Amino acid sequence: MGRHQTGFQLRNDLSELETLRTELERFKVKADIPEKTLLEINLILDELFTNIVSCGYRDGEEHWVKITLCRERDVLTLCVRDDGVPFNPTELPEPDRCCPMEERRIGGMGILLIRRLTDEMTYHRTDTDNVVTLRKNLPQPIRT
Instruction: Please name each of the domains of the chain with its CATH number.
Output: 3-137 (3.30.565.10)
Q: Per-residue pLDDT tens for 127-136?
A: 999 999 999 9
Output the pLDDT for position 109: 73
What pairing do the DSSP bridges indicate for beta strands 130-137 and 120-125?
antiparallel
Q: Are 121 and 133 in contact (CB under 8 A)?
A: yes
More reliable by pLDDT, 58 or 1: 58
User: Above 60 in pLDDT, residue 111?
Assistant: yes
In this prediction the pTM is: 0.88
Output the pLDDT for position 2: 76
Instruction: Name the pLDDT band for 140 (thresholds 50, 70, 90).
Output: confident
Q: Per-residue pLDDT tens for 35-58?
A: 999 999 999 999 999 999 999 999
What is the pLDDT averaged over residues 87-98?
A: 78
Strand partners, 5: 70
User: Above 70 in pLDDT, residue 100?
Assistant: no
User: Above 70 in pLDDT, residue 107?
Assistant: no
Q: 131: buried, middle or exposed (CB in 10 Å: 19+, 13-18, 0-12)? A: middle
Count Cβ atoms below 10 Å from residue 108 Cβ, excluding itself. 15
Distance CA 88, CA 135 (A): 16
Instruction: Name the pLDDT band for 139 (thresholds 50, 70, 90).
Output: confident
Q: For residue 138, which of 2, 20, 36, 47 has the smallest C-alpha distance? A: 36
Q: What percent of the chain has pLDDT over 90?
A: 79
